[in-house]
Structure 1
Amino acid sequence: MQRVCLNEPLLFVYGTLRPGCDDPMARWLRDAALHVGPAVAQGGLYRVAAYPGFVPGEAGDVAGDLFALADPGAVLAALDDYEECAAHFARPHEYRRERLTVRGENGPVEAWTYIYNRDVAGLERIESGDFLS
């Protein structure tokens, strides 16, 4: 694991932005931020389409990865556009960006993440909590 400056904001990703995905935005994120390592968030993970939605506060663990953001303003603005939750997108947004506590390799840390912002009734829950498994 690479050493991270504690002043750099962190981002928790759990779906198509993870290093194991060959999504163009995942490749962009690997170039734009430093991969810190695996992490786990408490909540439920649902299959929305070819991508997942994370709902915190539910029982269960969701596997993901942490990235350190040397330029958080630029990275988060690009990801807000990607997730269609920037201010210029029509509401209600499918996702919202929030900070939450996740468990990294060295204990709990605060990280930004994208939370599914719609009703999950009728969506398949990913019981393993790992979108890549």
Structure 2
Amino acid sequence: MSSALLFAYGTLRAGFDGPMARWLRSVAPIVGRATARGALYRVDTYPGFVPGDEGVVTGDLFAPADPAALLAQLDEYEECAAHFPEPHEYRRALVTVQGADGPVEAWTYIYARDVAGLARIAGGDFLGE
């Protein structure tokens, strides 16, 4: 595994009060705020991140003690584990994010479907909409 960090930009963020966000906070210390290049779209009650050069997306960096186990659990939550039928809504990938101490690589979940018709979240901050 080439990164031990997770970049969360939506319902897994430290400031979101959902069951998976609470679970994540209990198993992975938050490193701090971070940003990634790209756009954020409102999919439903949750966002989708699409990397690119057209904007900045705000999120939180987490440093799990056991990244492989945490990512396996999150792959289930995001329904992108191998046993889920294709096409997946999300795919897990490494992205470069800007943390407090400079750029780092972190795992995140990228929206894998067409964004046509989805509203872009202005400012790229799901919690600051």
TM-score scaled to structure 1, two decimals?
A: 0.93
1:54-93 to structure 2, matched below 5 A, reads 54-93=49-88
**1:20 corresponds to:** 15
Question: Does the CA-based 8 Å contact 1:98-1:113 persist in structure 2?
Answer: yes
Question: Does the CA-based 8 Å contact 1:8-1:69 persist in structure 2?
Answer: no
Q: State the Cα distance separating 1:128 from its structure 2 match.
A: 1.0
1:46-125 to structure 2, matched below 5 A, reads 46-125=41-120
Q: What fraction of aligned residue pairs are identical, expressed as a percent?
A: 69
Q: Which of 122, 128, 132 is 2:127 aligned to?
A: 132
**1:36 corresponds to:** 31
Report the number of matched residues: 127
Q: State the Cα distance separating 1:98 from its structure 2 match.
A: 0.2
Q: State the Cα distance separating 1:94 from its structure 2 match.
A: 0.1
SS in 2 for 1:103: strand
SS in 2 for 1:70: coil
Question: Does the CA-based 8 Å contact 1:95-1:116 persist in structure 2?
Answer: yes
Q: Is 2:33 the counterpart of 1:45? A: no
**1:11 corresponds to:** 6
Paired with 2:13 and 2:40, the residues of 1 have a C-alpha distance of 14
Paired with 1:8 and 1:130, the residues of 2 have a C-alpha distance of 24
SS in 2 for 1:128: helix
Hey, which of these two has a bigger chunk of helix by percent?
A: 2
| Runs of 4+ with deviation above 4 angstroms | none
Question: Does the CA-based 8 Å contact 1:10-1:69 persist in structure 2?
Answer: yes
